[in-house]
Amino acid sequence: MNKYSISYADSKDKNELTLISESKVSIDGKEFEYDCKWLSPNVMILRINNKNYYISAVDNPDENFTEVSIDSIISRVICKSELDILKEKLSGNKSGDNVRNDIVSPMPGIIKKLNVKEGQEVKKGDVLLVLEAMKMENEIKAKKDSVIKKVCVEEMSSVEKNELLLMLG
């Protein structure tokens, strides 16, 4: 089971979401049957208890939230996994800011272009690599000024979702 804490950027309210199986989810202890179909890397149709929802999501890493549109209603959402919450607790990070020194793949795909090497300094906004997924090229950019500590992938290699791509220092 995968557990997530979901909160809204403009609110203190939180929801606990647990993926029970590939077709069942629990939200704040209430179970729902679901199915989803991805139309593109950030757009899906989600069916919960026989009702369809059209959902799109756009990450805003500079502000540490994802802008989610559900049937044209837009919300700013912060989603943290159990691992993210544990890392915050262990690091003493009480503010809730998730400082990431690792770049992970947001989706399965192929590394089409690798623009950095170990030891290289990068500036916020620099394109670190290009990930091709579903015939779309996605630029993975630096979220802050940093140094490339380790490159974990090669050009033309396949990657899975959440696979470590780069370590920043």
CATH 3.30.700.30 boundaries in the chain: 2-84
Tell which residue, 4, 30, 1, 169, has the closest CA to residue 86. Answer: 4
Give 17-55 as a 3 state SS string: EEEEECCEEEECCEEEEEEEEEEECCEEEEEECCEEEEE
CATH 2.40.50.100 boundaries in the chain: 100-168
**The listed CATH number (3.40.50.1820, 3.40.190.10, 3.30.2090.10, 3.30.700.30) that belongs to domain 2-84:** 3.30.700.30
Return the pLDDT at 62. 62
Q: Where residue 117 falls among pLDDT bands split at 50, 70, 90?
A: very high
Residue 49 pLDDT more than 60? yes
Q: What is the CATH topology of the domain spanning 100-168?
A: OB fold (Dihydrolipoamide Acetyltransferase, E2P) (2.40.50)
Q: What does the alpha-carbon distance between residue 62 and residue 121 come to, in Å, rounded to a whole number?
A: 19
pLDDT digits (tens, 9 = 90+) for 139-151: 998 888 899 999 9
Phi-psi region of 136 (alpha: psi -120 to 50; beta: other; left: phi over 0): beta
Residue 34 pLDDT more than 60? yes
Return the pLDDT at 53. 92
pLDDT digits (tens, 9 = 90+) for 53-101: 999 988 876 667 788 888 888 888 888 888 777 777 776 554 444 445 7
Tell which residue, 87, 102, 108, 101, has the closest CA to residue 5. Answer: 87
